């Protein structure tokens, strides 16, 4: 196929007056780079005043007439059949949803199967176009998924290339970013060029080409692990989104090339970038039967790996508090959960550590009460004497609790944090006075109550712990009535029977926890899917609006 371009130089020739430099501003809109223009000249496809000129540096003079033959040789790409998800096609163009992991066209890596190969197999008319990328007018990185526009005729390719060059095609992306940007929306306008220290990377570079990216944060994970952002690009620089988001400290999750030094291993096998929205005015409405000026809009939600990555990073350790009245079997249930693989925490053991010689609880009690409960700095707390005093004096009891309970909760929070960092799905803490101390915080844990009739509990306390009637009565008085405590729990375990029966109850607790995790996962997946289905997030000349 051939198209002729004619340029008459009717006025003075501005510097530089080279032939190739003169053609660049006129042929850039047709998708031709300076290098391609040089090749046209060298191939004898350019004449000056009717004479073929093969030197790109040929000098021009006022009155010269330049004629360029935009002729393409048949494509040398060997068609290969493969899956193509076509969202729209007509006689001159096609819109596709490209999967991640598939290169758009052959490059330096010598890919044997690319989207261009599949296009050539699906649309034989592309054979009339030249090169190894027939029909390709823009590209997505190999590991970026989403909408791609391709031309089926050379005329349409040239027109679309010009539209891209003039920024007349609206493109938006969805991205999962590391962390949470300080500003919920913003524009990045820094030039991008080759990274001088890394030949395969681009970088913000003062000597690079101008680039503009706008972003909007749609959702931020409460723990600050990641954000979902809508991104619009106004230029088409290599790796533009990846470079610009890294430049503000929030690289794409899963991107091995552009990441900060503190970037953690992400729950993704590729960079989490998806070309989600595309809007443009059809360049050849007459060829398709469309009315002139018809705008075509396309939106495609991200693939499953996007939501899977977000779900994995959104999961927090499911925190479980085991509570109940004295002697109900809280510790036995905690041991059974530990045997099932859950990390566990015991408030009673934490207090024992705090009251040990040199413990922080010992230090605080000595600071408040002198040697009343700890005879010297090297000894621990006399727990029997302290317990007796607390039962006799409610004011002293409340004072001791105010000194010691914050330490226990601090240790428990550290336990939760360690479990979170280790990736445990569940973790259990035995806190006898959980409800009485009212320290649920912003993210209250699930509560599992252990119920046991008072006569059974009483017998256990006497037989196993040697408690007197006075001690039992005092400990009961410090706590909510058992019925009230069990009513406040999310799940209740019956421990009025044997240890074998408690093991069966433990299986019920584990089933309950798995069900809660599944409910949380389902709720997040539905919320995330709704966020990703918002469509266009930025306004443009055609009036497309963001759902904010």
The Cα–Cα gap between 72 and 281 comes to 26
Q: In percent, how much of the chain has pLDDT > 70?
A: 90
**Is residue 141 flagged as an active site residue?**
yes
Give the pLDDT confidence score for residue 390 in this predicted structure: 92
Instruction: Give the pLDDT band of residue 3 (cuts 50, 70, 90).
Output: low
> What's the whole-number mean pLDDT along residues 65-74?
72
Give the pLDDT confidence score for residue 478 in this predicted structure: 87
Longest pairwise C-alpha distance within the chain: 116
* SS3 state at 331: helix
Instruction: Give the pLDDT band of residue 506 (cuts 50, 70, 90).
Output: very high
Q: Which residue has the higher pLDDT, 331 or 441?
A: 331
Give the pLDDT confidence score for residue 71 in this predicted structure: 63
Give the pLDDT confidence score for residue 52 in this predicted structure: 78
Q: Which residue has the higher pLDDT, 40 or 257?
A: 257
pLDDT mean across residues, the chain: 88
Give the pLDDT confidence score for residue 60 in this predicted structure: 87
Q: Residues with Cβ < 8 Å from 275, sequence gap 6 or more?
A: 98, 140, 144, 145, 146, 147, 148, 171, 172, 173, 300
Of the candidates 120, 230, 237, the one whose C-alpha atom is nearest the C-alpha of residue 189 is: 237
Alpha helices for 111-230 (secondary structure H)? 115-122, 154-165
* SS3 state at 48: strand
Strand partners, 21: none
**pLDDT above 50: residue 228:** yes
Q: How many residues are present in the chain?
A: 548
**pLDDT above 90: residue 539:** no
Rg value, the chain, Cα? 35
Any idea what DSSP says for residue 462?
A: I
> What's the whole-number mean pLDDT along residues 392-415?
93
**pLDDT above 70: residue 356:** yes
Instruction: Give the pLDDT band of residue 109 (cuts 50, 70, 90).
Output: low
**pLDDT above 60: residue 541:** no
> 66 burial class (0-12, 13-18, 19+ CB within 10 angstroms)?
buried
Which of 63-67, 79-83, 189-193, 281-285 comes out lowest in average pLDDT? 63-67
* CA dihedral for 338, 342, 343, 347, sign (positive or negative): negative
User: Strands 491-494 and 446-451, how do they pair?
Assistant: parallel
Which of 16-25, 68-77, 362-371 comes out lowest in average pLDDT? 68-77
Give the pLDDT confidence score for residue 546 in this predicted structure: 39
**pLDDT above 90: residue 100:** yes
Instruction: Give the pLDDT band of residue 106 (cuts 50, 70, 90).
Output: confident
> What's the whole-number mean pLDDT along residues 266-272?
85
Q: What is the pLDDT of residues 125-177, one digit of tens each?
A: 888 776 678 889 999 999 999 999 999 998 898 889 889 888 899 999 999 99
Give the pLDDT confidence score for residue 393 in this predicted structure: 92
**pLDDT above 90: residue 517:** yes
* SS3 state at 521: helix
Which of 15-24, 325-334, 340-349 comes out lowest in average pLDDT? 15-24
Q: Residues with Cβ < 8 Å from 84, sequence gap 6 or more?
A: 96, 115, 118, 119, 122
Q: Residues with Cβ < 8 Å from 223, sequence gap 6 or more?
A: 316
Give the pLDDT confidence score for residue 548 in this predicted structure: 29
**pLDDT above 70: residue 96:** yes
The Cα–Cα gap between 215 and 188 comes to 8
The Cα–Cα gap between 47 and 68 comes to 7
Q: In percent, how much of the chain has pLDDT > 90?
A: 61
**pLDDT above 70: residue 523:** yes
First-to-last C-alpha distance (Å) of the chain: 47
Q: Residues with Cβ < 8 Å from 282, sequence gap 6 or more?
A: 93, 288, 290, 294, 295, 296
Give kind and range of the element (H or E) at residue 420.
helix 394-422
* SS3 state at 450: strand
Give kind and range of the element (H or E) at residue 414.
helix 394-422
Helices 360-369/347-354 angle, 10° precision: 60
Of the candidates 7, 11, 12, the one whose C-alpha atom is nearest the C-alpha of residue 23 is: 7
**pLDDT above 60: residue 528:** yes
pTM value is: 0.80
Q: What is the pLDDT of residues 454-483, one digit of tens each?
A: 999 999 999 988 999 999 998 898 899 999
**pLDDT above 50: residue 542:** no
Select the CATH number that applies to the domain covering 2-71 from these four: 2.40.50.140, 3.10.290.10, 3.40.50.150, 3.40.50.720.
Answer: 3.10.290.10
**pLDDT above 90: residue 485:** yes
Q: Of the residues 141, 143, 195, 255, which is catalytic? A: 141
Q: What is the pLDDT of residues 163-222, one digit of tens each?
A: 988 889 999 999 999 999 999 999 999 999 988 888 789 999 888 889 999 999 999 999
Domains of the chain, residue spans: 2-71, 86-313, 318-527
**pLDDT above 60: residue 37:** yes
The Cα–Cα gap between 139 and 146 comes to 11
Strand partners, 492: 449
> What's the whole-number mean pLDDT along residues 507-519?
97
Q: Could you please state the CATH topology (level 3) that the domain comprising 318-527 is classified under.
A: Rossmann fold (3.40.50)
Other Cβ atoms closer than 10 A to 85: 10
Q: What is the pLDDT of residues 272-304, one digit of tens each?
A: 999 999 999 999 998 888 888 899 999 999 999
The Cα–Cα gap between 17 and 85 comes to 47
The Cα–Cα gap between 391 and 383 comes to 12
Give the pLDDT confidence score for residue 547 in this predicted structure: 37
**pLDDT above 80: residue 32:** no
* 217 CA to centre of own chain: 11
Residue 110 φ/ψ region, left for φ over 0, alpha for ψ in the -120 to 50 degree band, beta for the rest: left
Q: Is 86-313 CATH 3.30.2350.10?
A: yes
Give the pLDDT confidence score for residue 544 in this predicted structure: 43
Instruction: Give the pLDDT band of residue 395 (cuts 50, 70, 90).
Output: very high
The Cα–Cα gap between 289 and 180 comes to 47
Give the pLDDT confidence score for residue 165 in this predicted structure: 83
């Amino acid at each position: 196929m051939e198209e002729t371009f004619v340029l008459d130089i009717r006025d003075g020739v501005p510097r530089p007056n080279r032939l190739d430099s003169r053609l660049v501003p006129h042929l850039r809109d047709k998708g031709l780079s300076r290098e391609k223009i040089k090749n046209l000249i060298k191939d004898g496809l350019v004449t000056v005043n009717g004479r073929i000129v093969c030197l790109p540096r040929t000098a021009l003079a006022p009155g010269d007439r330049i004629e360029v033959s935009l002729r393409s040789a048949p494509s040398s790409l060997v068609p290969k059949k493969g899956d193509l998800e076509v969202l729209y096609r007509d006689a001159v163009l096609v819109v596709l949803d490209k999967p991640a992991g598939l290169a758009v066209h052959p490059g330096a890596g010598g890919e044997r199967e690319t989207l261009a190969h599949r296009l050539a197999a699906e649309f034989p008319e592309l054979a009339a176009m030249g090169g190894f990328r027939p029909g390709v007018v823009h590209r997505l990185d190999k590991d970026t998924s989403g909408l791609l526009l391709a031309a089926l005729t050379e005329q349409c390719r040239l027109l679309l290339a010009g539209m891209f060059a003039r920024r007349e095609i609206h493109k938006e992306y969805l991205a999962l970013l590391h962390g949470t940007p300080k500003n919920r929306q913003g524009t990045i306008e820094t030039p991008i060029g080759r990274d001088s220290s890394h030949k395969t990377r681009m970088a913000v570079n003062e000597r690079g080409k101008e680039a503009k990216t706008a972003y909007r944060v749609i959702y931020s994970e409460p723990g600050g692990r990641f954000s979902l952002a809508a991104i619009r690009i106004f230029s088409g620089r290599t790796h533009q989104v990846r470079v610009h988001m890294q430049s503000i400290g929030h690289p794409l999750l899963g991107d091995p090339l552009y990441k900060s030094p503190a970037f953690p291993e992400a729950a993704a096998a590729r960079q989490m970038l998806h070309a989600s929205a595309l809007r443009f005015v059809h360049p050849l409405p007459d060829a398709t039967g469309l009315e002139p000026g018809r705008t075509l809009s396309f939106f495609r939600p991200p693939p499953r790996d996007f939501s899977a990555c977000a779900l994995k990073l959104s999961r927090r350790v499911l925190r479980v508090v085991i509570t109940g009245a004295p002697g109900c079997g809280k510790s036995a249930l905690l041991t059974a959960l530990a045997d099932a693989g859950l990390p566990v925490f015991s408030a009673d053991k934490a207090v024992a550590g705090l009251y040990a010689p040199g413990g922080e609880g010992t230090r605080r009690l000595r600071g408040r009460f002198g040697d009343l409960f700890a005879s010297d700095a090297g000894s621990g707390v006399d727990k029997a004497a302290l317990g007796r005093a607390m039962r006799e004096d409610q004011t002293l009891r409340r004072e001791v609790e105010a000194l010691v309970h914050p330490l226990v909760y601090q240790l428990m929070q550290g336990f939760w944090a360690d479990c979170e960092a280790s990736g445990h799905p569940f973790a259990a803490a035995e806190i006898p006075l959980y409800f009485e101390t009212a320290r649920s915080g912003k993210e209250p844990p699930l509560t599992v109550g252990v119920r046991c009739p008072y006569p059974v509990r009483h017998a256990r306390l006497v037989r196993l712990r040697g408690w007197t009637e006075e001690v039992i009565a005092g400990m009961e008085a410090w706590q909510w009535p058992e019925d009230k405590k069990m009513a406040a729990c999310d799940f209740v375990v019956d421990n009025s029977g044997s240890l074998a029966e408690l093991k069966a109850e433990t299986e019920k607790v584990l089933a309950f926890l798995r069900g809660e995790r599944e409910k949380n996962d389902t709720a997040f997946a539905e919320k995330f899917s709704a966020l990703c289905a918002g469509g266009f997030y930025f306004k443009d000349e055609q009036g497309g609006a963001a759902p904010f």
